[in-house]
């Protein structure tokens, strides 16, 4: 099942761990019911969204 969300007015933010060197970075936008993720170097290339619980589990597993 694919759900299209208009992310035109999403407030994207880069991780505080991202530097200013132009490396691989992702941006996230909190959409309340979902967390959207995109490539900061190519924001128009595509995005995906996951439930906040899935995003929290992903971040926990990274640590």
> What are the extents of the domains in the chain?
25-62
Given this model, what pLDDT does residue 54 score? 93
Task: Label residues 16-37 b or e (16+ Cβ within 10 Å = b).
Answer: eeeeeeeeeeebbbeeeebbbb
Checking if the pLDDT of 19 tops 70, the result is: no
Q: Given pLDDT bands bounded at 50, 70 and 90, which one contains residue 3?
A: low
Dig out the tokens for 50 from the structure.
Answer: 């996951």
Per-residue pLDDT tens digits for 28-49: 998 888 899 988 888 888 888 8
Pick the more confident residue, 46 or 4: 46
Query: Sign of the CA dihedral 54, 7, 46, 41?
Result: negative
Q: The pTM is what?
A: 0.73
């Amino acid at each position: 099942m694919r759900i299209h969300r208009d992310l035109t007015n999403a407030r994207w933010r880069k991780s505080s761990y991202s530097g200013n060197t132009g490396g691989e970075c992702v941006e996230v936008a909190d959409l309340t019911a979902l967390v959207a993720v995109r490539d900061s170097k190519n924001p128009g290339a595509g995005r995906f969204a996951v439930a906040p619980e899935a995003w929290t589990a992903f971040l926990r597993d990274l640590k």
